[in-house]
Amino acid sequence: MTNQIQMPALHKELNKHPETINSNYLVSELKVDKTKKGDEYAKYKLSDKTATVVATHWNLTPDEKEMLQNNEVLLVSGNGGISNYSGEYEITVTGIQLSRDVDYDALTPSEPIDSHDTFKKLKLVVSKFENPILKRITLALLEDKKGFLMNGSAALGMHHSKRHGLLRHVVEMIQIAANIISVYPDILNKDLLYSGIIFHDVMKQSEYIYSEHTGIAKDFSSDGVLFGHVVMGSKLPEHYATEEERDSEELKMLQHLILAHHGKLEWGSPVQPATPEAYVLHMVDNIDAKLYVYQEELAKLEPGEHTKVKRLGHSIYKTTLCKDRRIIDNGY
């Protein structure tokens, strides 16, 4: 078993060696430009879970340019100090190398969940399905997409865009849906709704280009631009179905849930929800995504403060009644 490198906390590195840095860090917000002389340089951010600093990389070589990718981890050497221009701590990078055997959970912005334990509990929920078709194809999906479901982010930046983000999103949607089912058990099929929740965003794996190491989405793929995860996702149940199951009501309804989960035509949904399960899936998807943004943004405010949030398109206010950010409970 390979020994993983333990990542030093960035803020400790800067405190201990205020003028130098030589460690593995996550690269983000990369921008490459040219000086007036025509030499290429890069501006980007270096971060771990403890801090983020701005870095400038002069005299960029072709090899270094190829290595530099958003949401990738590199061994970075440089000199740091307070910028006369910004007044913030900045790093002037002197060299980069590809990193090996990195503990990505210790470095990458991640959701506060135990991904192995959470995934195991998710499989347990599916194993208790009463419908044999939905049970079989959903378990097949979980086995096939295990790595992506455990580590992948759910979006580029809107919500759950950290490592393990998709798994957290799915789990929280199921938790919300369980409460709705308890109120309307006569019109909602639990197996169908839970299966739709698990399937609905899986094809973001093809919609986005993901970092192989961190599991964070970096950009749209060609298929993402041409088709999108909704259309690609609607075809996924057939991949796991038997010949006999492909004409079943279960498969037809599951495909409808995937196609309708954006809810409105103007939100990129090919169809609108025609069943109560499809409507609930759309609503819990939207609720969890929006409240996640509220949760992140409220954590930056003091009680009595307000701010405009671009991701929501309006301002939010932190009341003195607001509770501290919770650590999610995966015991659903």
Question: Tokens representing 116?
Answer: 């192995």
Sign of CA dihedral 24, 28, 34, 40: positive
The reported pLDDT for the residue numbered 8 is: 45
The DSSP letter of residue 329 is P
Domain ranges of the chain: 10-106, 110-298
| Region at 262 (left for phi over 0; alpha for psi -120 to 50; beta for the rest) | alpha
Q: Which residue has the tokens 């097949």?
A: 140
What is the structure's pLDDT at 85?
Answer: 67
Nearest to 183 by CA among 286, 283, 330: 283
Give DSSP secondary structure letters for 47-108: E-SS-EEEEEE-S--HHHHHH--TT-EEEEEEEEEE-TTTSSEEEEEEEEEE--SB-HHHHS
Q: Using alpha carbons, list the distances in angstroms from residue 119 to 16, 126, 150, 176.
A: 38, 11, 7, 17
Tell which residue, 132, 140, 147, 73, has the closest CA to residue 108: 73
pLDDT tens, residue by residue, 117-163: 999 999 999 999 999 999 999 999 999 999 999 999 999 888 998 99
Q: Round to whole Å and give the CA distance between 47 and 53.
A: 6
| Torsion from C-alpha of 174, 180, 185, 186, nearest 10 degrees | -120
Helices 132-144 + 249-260 axis angle, to 10: 50
* pLDDT tens per residue, range 9-65: 555 555 544 568 888 888 988 999 999 999 999 999 888 777 778 899 999 999 999
Answer yes or no: is pLDDT of 224 > 80: yes
- Tell me yes or no: is domain 10-106 CATH 2.40.37.10: no
What pLDDT is attached to residue 135? 98
Q: What gap in Å lies between CA 232 and CA 92, rounded to an integer?
A: 43
CA distance 205 to 141: 13
